Amino acid sequence: MNTTASKAPVEQLSATIATSEIPGLSRIRSLTRGALTKQWPTRHLTLCPPAHGALVASDTLDAPTLFNGHQGAALVLFLPGDFEAHLQTLSSAQLQLRTHEIVGFRKREVYLSLSLPPHGAALPMTVWVRAKDVLGETLNAKARPQNFHLPVLMVAGSKAVSSHWTFDMKRLDRVDAAIQSADNWAYETRDEQWNRAQSKAEKYGERPWLFMRYDVTHSLRRFAVNWAPVCTLHGGIAVEYPLD
């Protein structure tokens, strides 16, 4: 497994607030769940990933003061309920860049990663967001911004915390380089490691961290990972989300 240790700053904007104070949140949740409910191939189940999100126009939340008057797109992340007590800590954690093979070694994907500190013997609870989901449009723009600010609202249980992720030109270039490297990667040796990977993929699927919290190892460290796929909402309609 490959890890890119690039970091992006995170600025927390608010104290924990009740989701009931954000009028547009329930509709965003409903639309997002509808778009991201998928078939888990190896379990023959249709379900929405425990962590999931959407890129939305800030005014869709109907809470003008939430992001200090920001008028552009915002990222809303819905997380499993056991994150509720840790939203403040997670929202201020350092954003990491991770490159990871899917279980069957068919491809690599690049994620933005936030982790809680380790607690006792438990693995650090971690959220992954695929870099292309939230930065693809910015990276493909003819003229990249000198600084890109993405407001983020993390929601768990009945609580929410807002922050924003900041990427300067150098960090955007690093993300872009990581994505290009991942897109050009191929595992060419059909060895014993390959065979074990195929067996695991048949049992759990190629991205088990999508449908459950999954034990992932990076650079000899283990994390309990939920991948939060992020769809885009345009005019109250969720754009279809492809896994490949």
Q: Residue 198: which H helix or E strand, with range?
A: helix 192-204
Residues 6+ apart with CB under 8 A from 206: 102, 103, 104, 106
pTM of the model: 0.88
pLDDT digits (tens, 9 = 90+) for 135-176: 999 999 888 888 899 999 999 999 999 998 999 999 999 999
Name the percent of the chain lying above pLDDT 70. Answer: 91
* Separation between Cα atoms, residue 53 and residue 201, nearest integer Å: 25
* Separation between Cα atoms, residue 59 and residue 231, nearest integer Å: 17
What does DSSP say about strands 73-78 and 147-156: parallel, antiparallel, or unpaired?
Answer: parallel
- Per DSSP, 80 falls in state -
* Separation between Cα atoms, residue 5 and residue 12, nearest integer Å: 21
If pLDDT is split at 50, 70 and 90, which confidence band does 118 have?
confident
SS3 118: coil
Q: Residue 210: which H helix or E strand, with range?
A: helix 208-211
SS3 48: coil
Task: Write down the pLDDT at residue 10.
Answer: 57
- What is the chain's Cα-based Rg? 18
40 vs 114, higher pLDDT: 114
* Separation between Cα atoms, residue 111 and residue 228, nearest integer Å: 10
| Whether residue 3 has pLDDT greater than 50 | no
Mean pLDDT computed over every residue of the chain: 85
Q: What is the mean pLDDT of residues 5-34?
A: 79
Task: Write down the pLDDT at residue 168.
Answer: 92
What does DSSP say about strands 147-156 and 159-168: parallel, antiparallel, or unpaired?
Answer: antiparallel
SS3 77: strand
Q: Parse the chain into domains and list their residue ranges.
A: 2-236
Q: What is the mean pLDDT of residues 201-228?
A: 83
Closest by CA position to 214, among listed 201, 203, 202, 223: 223
Locus of tokens 């693809």? 136
Residues 6+ apart with CB under 8 A from 9: 94, 95, 165, 166
Helices 169-183 and 131-140, axial angle in degrees (round to 10): 110
| Whether residue 5 has pLDDT greater than 60 | no
